[in-house]
Amino acid sequence: MEHLECDSFQEAVSRCLVRHRSILDCTSKLDEATARVNRAIAKAVTTCGCLKVSASRQRFPQDASFSELRNFTESHLEGSLCPECRDILESEIGRTLFYLTAVCELLGLDISDIMEKEMTRLSTLGIYNLT
């Protein structure tokens, strides 16, 4: 996403923060939105059935280097989102992005700057970023 698009999104979120200007309201709404994403994924599996979770222990050779582990791990997902589940998840993820951006706005943080810093960290550290 270009820097300008993130800035425009943050400005649009800022204009919409009328009723939800409380940081407590925004953080609780962010938690709720994240839970709704999780619930939508669960419903794609349990209600719709377009996705299936087939989870087991991740197995990889003992001599594999950390950078090779990606070649041996799985997402545990089978299938793909149907159009209805895709629409629901896109909407729920959009709401999550809204409240995440609202939290940034209320704290005086620039989401574009945060994304750039994270991108730099990813570029520098690569797969070691999340260890």
50-64 pLDDT tens trace: 999 998 888 878 888
| Contact predicate 40/88, CB 8 Å | yes
CA atoms within 13 A on the CB side of 13: 25
Supply 91's token pair: 């909407």
* Residue whose token pair is 């299936």: 52
| Cα–Cα distance, 17 to 9 (Å, whole number) | 13
Q: 3-class DSSP state for residue 19?
A: coil
pLDDT of residue 127: 66
Q: 3-class DSSP state for residue 68?
A: helix
Higher per-residue pLDDT: 104 or 131: 104
Q: Residue 1 pLDDT more than 50? A: no
- Model confidence at 3, pLDDT cuts 50, 70, 90, reads low
Q: Residue 123 pLDDT more than 90? A: no
pLDDT of residue 128: 64
* Residue whose token pair is 């939105």: 33
| Cα–Cα distance, 49 to 53 (Å, whole number) | 10
The whole-number average pLDDT for the span 19-37 is 93
Domains in the chain, ordered, with CATH? 3-130 (1.10.287)
